[in-house]
Copies of this chain bind each other. A is one copy, B any other.
Amino acid sequence: MNKTAVIEGLLFLVGDDGLETKQIADVLEMDGKTVTELMEQMKMNYSGEASGFELVEVAGVYKFMTKPELAPYIQRLIESPGKSNLSQAAMETLAIVAYKQPITRAEIEDIRGVKSERALQRLASHALVKEVGRAEGTGRAILYGTTDEFLQYFGLHSLQELPPFPEELQEQPSEEEIELFEK
């Protein structure tokens, strides 16, 4: 596989995070200068009409970004009815609240790795989560939990009916995990 294809695949995968010259150089075992030259060349490949995204360099980071002409289509996509009317962000947040309640926003964000205020608001507006108390300590952060509507909506009698929390997201792999998965 040629190097530009590898770089293309990696840049695709990391998306908005992008890659620094050094990261590309390390992974491909090239020197920085060669990478820079290669990237200049690659930029041209994506600049044409046929490509939906382009290669940009922002603050020393290379990344693919969709072309501005895509904006109206993206808007239409958001409005096009997908499978569920809860977004992945909302569903993810809801799942974390369901399993880990009572939980603060900071803890949710810690697990998700992204800001979750909007998702929480969305869930609250659907009456799926609510404030259930305040955390001990200085911040007295709001603790979130699920509502009766949540149980009703998902056809659950109680929270005990939820399948076990995925081990990949647990801090420590449980013993069962080791049993289920063999490396």
| Interface residues of A, Cβ cutoff 8 Å to B | 1-2, 4-15, 17, 19-20, 23, 26-28, 49-53, 64, 66-67, 69-70, 73-74, 76-77, 80-90, 118-119, 121-122, 124-127, 163-167, 176, 179-183
Contact = CB atoms under 8 A, between A and B. Distances in A.
Given A12-B12, A52-B12, A1 B85 contact: no
B122 A28 contact: no
Interface of A is mostly: helix
A163 B52 contact: no
Given A1-B70, A15-B15, A52-B10, A167 B26 contact: no
A9 B84 contact: no
Contacts of A14: 77
Closest 10 CB pairs of A and B: A9-B52, A8-B52, A84-B181, A124-B163, A125-B164, A9-B66, A9-B70, A26-B80, A5-B52, A1-B69
A4 B49 CA distance: 10
Given A125-B163, A180-B90, A74 B13 contact: yes
A74 B14 CA distance: 10
A15 B2 CA distance: 22
Most buried by B among A4, A26, A82: A82
Contacts of A10: 52, 66, 70, 73-74, 77
A60 to B, nearest CB: 9
A6 B70 contact: yes
A23 B77 contact: yes
Q: Which of A23, A76, A77, A167 has the most CB of B within 10 A?
A: A77
Contacts of A4: 50, 52
Contact of A87 (B84, B124, B182): B182
